[in-house]
């Protein structure tokens, strides 16, 4: 997976940002300086060329500038009853200013380029953090390859066993059931091998190319094959097998009925969605920050929007209430594909060690979040069901050591500390929104007032 950042092709960790970052350029006569100018006045400097700068910008009432630049032990902000920090403001070049909890209420313009850290800022930062993480996962296989390779070997062993006993039936089944996912007839789905029409190919061509991609393809191709074989081929060729039994048993936990019912799922189609090169779920205007892919694809976040008129359902209500109360992102609704991938990992792995589960979960995040199909929370809500640690809104406890021990993580984690570590605190930015199921009730009651013909069949779960 080639990931491009700005106009430069590079790795997912080294982001090429635009030169001026959109910073408000102030005349020398202006009294209010930018954060960068104030950092320099305090004796600080940019970390460019000097390695990772692990300092934080802290709101400080005792400082003449209104803030101080500080480093903390292990590069982490304190989180205790005596001293704790939350996001306070953000500059136009995405420098976050933190304040002690309790001192963050209200906002003073301590610098020319500083604006309050609001609900909207929180959500935009979530999208950027998730997109860059997904791009890293797609671009750097070393963080997920141990777990991904284990599942790939299981898929390959299953298919080869069937092929050796009945090659014709196996190739025909693979071609019929999943060939169109990988040879798409010009459809721009993520994980595809080619836009060639599968109907123009022989069964052995389809088989050989899928088997080659399973071993040598990009991460998105491998994960897509895991999913497709588990959902479509295993039930056809694996009848009575232990693998199918494991797959189906886990399905009761990770893929509930309401996920696939349009009236409950809470998403609606968007007309005229265009294919995108932008990495992840970020708005296309942020491609210079999160990066872009050479291969365009249709993103779930562009094809779907939240359906405010969904039918109430207890578990769906809980899911959406969690999003609203924690200021999390709606991407395309709860992720059924995360569930089917975890089923495939159980059937063809299995992945018994937590590190392997976390690696595979990071690969799923690469495929679904990096691919633009779902938000991080929509995936991790399912990952949590198989025991992967998750504190809704934050990241660090869910990531594998293969990644957290790397320089890529250190850079990403510091850039997005407000999300990766402190993301679970963002309930504080709520603006008094109703929980989603109560909002549904309000919308329906308004309709009842406006149109007496609406049936009184709406029940809040």
The answer to whether position 379 is within a domain reads no
Query: 444 is written with which tokens?
Result: 């329906």
Report angle CA 297, 301, 302 to the nearest 5 degrees: 65
- pLDDT at position 66 is 81
Q: Cα dist. 441→116, 126, 241, 261, 431 in Å?
A: 32, 28, 46, 20, 19
- What pLDDT is recorded for position 451? 55
Q: Which residues of the chain have pLDDT under 50?
A: 4-31, 41, 43-50, 449, 452-461
Please give the Cα distance from 103 to 446 (Å, whole number).
40
The Cα–Cα gap between 250 and 224 comes to 19
Residue 112's CB is within 10 A of a number of other CB atoms, namely 19
**H helix and E strand count, the chain:** 19, 11
| Tokens at 189, concatenated | 């789905």
- Give the gyration radius of the chain's Cα atoms: 24
Task: Tell me what pLDDT residue 72 has.
Answer: 93
For 92, which DSSP code? T
CA distance 459 to 269: 24
Residue 114 CB coordination number (10 Å): 26
Asked whether residue 152 is domain-assigned, the answer is no
Spell 125-157 as b/e; 16+ CB within 10 A means b: bbbbbbbbbbbbbbbbbebbbbbbebbbebbbe
State how many domains the chain has. 1
Is 138 part of a structural domain of the chain?
no
Q: How confident is the model at residue 7, as a pLDDT?
A: 32
Query: Which residue range(s) make up the domain with 99?
Result: 53-117
- The answer to whether residue 393 is domain-embedded is no
Q: Give the pLDDT confidence score for residue 432 in this predicted structure.
A: 62
Contact 404, 411 (CB under 8 A): no
Residue 62 forms part of a structural domain: yes
Give the distance between the most distant pair of CA atoms in the chain.
82
Six token digits for residue 5: 């950042």
Tokens in use for 7?
């106009």
CB contact set of 380 (below 8 Å; sequence gap of 6+): 361, 365, 388, 390, 392, 398
């Amino acid at each position: 997976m080639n990931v491009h950042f700005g106009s430069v092709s590079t790795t997912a960790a080294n982001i090429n940002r635009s030169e001026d970052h959109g910073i408000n350029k102030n005349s020398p006569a202006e009294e209010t300086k930018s954060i960068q100018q104030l950092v320099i006045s305090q004796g600080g400097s940019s970390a460019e060329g000097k390695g990772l700068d692990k300092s934080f910008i802290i709101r400080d009432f005792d400082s003449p500038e209104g803030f101080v630049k500080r480093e903390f032990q292990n590069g982490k902000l304190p989180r205790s009853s005596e001293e704790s920090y939350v996001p306070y403001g953000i500059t136009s070049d995405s420098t976050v200013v933190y304040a002690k909890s309790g001192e963050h209420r209200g906002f003073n313009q301590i610098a020319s380029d500083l604006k309050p850290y609001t609900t909207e800022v929180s959500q935009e930062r979530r999208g950027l953090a998730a997109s860059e993480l997904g791009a890293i996962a797609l671009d750097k296989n070393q963080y997920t390859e141990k777990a991904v390779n284990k599942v790939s070997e299981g898929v390959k062993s299953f298919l080869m066993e069937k092929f050796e006993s009945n090659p014709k039936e196996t190739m025909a089944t693979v071609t019929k059931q999943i060939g169109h996912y990988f040879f798409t007839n010009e459809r721009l789905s993520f994980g595809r091998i080619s836009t060639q029409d599968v109907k123009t190919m022989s069964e052995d061509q389809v088989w050989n190319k899928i088997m080659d991609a399973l071993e040598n393809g990009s991460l998105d191709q491998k994960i897509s094959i895991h999913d497709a074989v588990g959902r479509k081929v295993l039930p056809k060729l694996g009848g009575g097998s232990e693998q199918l039994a494991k797959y189906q048993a886990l399905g009761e936990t990770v893929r509930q009925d309401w996920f696939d019912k349009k009236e409950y799922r809470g998403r609606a189609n968007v007309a005229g969605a265009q294919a995108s090169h932008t990495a992840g779920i970020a708005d296309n205007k942020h491609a210079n920050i999160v990066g872009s892919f050479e291969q365009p694809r249709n993103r779930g976040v562009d094809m779907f929007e939240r359906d405010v008129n969904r039918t109430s359902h207890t578990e769906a209500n809980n899911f959406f209430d969690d999003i609203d109360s924690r200021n999390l992102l709606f991407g395309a609704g709860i992720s059924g594909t995360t569930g089917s991938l975890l089923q495939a990992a159980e059937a063809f792995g299995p992945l018994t060690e937590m590190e392997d589960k976390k690696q595979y979960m990071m690969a799923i995040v690469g495929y679904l979040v990096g691919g633009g199909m779902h938000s991080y929370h929509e995936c991790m809500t399912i990952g949590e069901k198989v025991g992967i640690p998750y504190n809704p809104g934050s990241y660090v406890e869910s990531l594998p050591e293969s990644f957290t021990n790397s320089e890529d993580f250190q850079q990403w984690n510091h850039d997005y500390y407000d999300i990766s570590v402190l993301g679970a605190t963002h309930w504080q930015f709520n603006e008094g929104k109703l929980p989603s199921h109560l909002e549904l009730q309000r919308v329906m009651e308004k309709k009842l007032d406006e149109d007496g013909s609406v049936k009184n069949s709406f029940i809040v779960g």
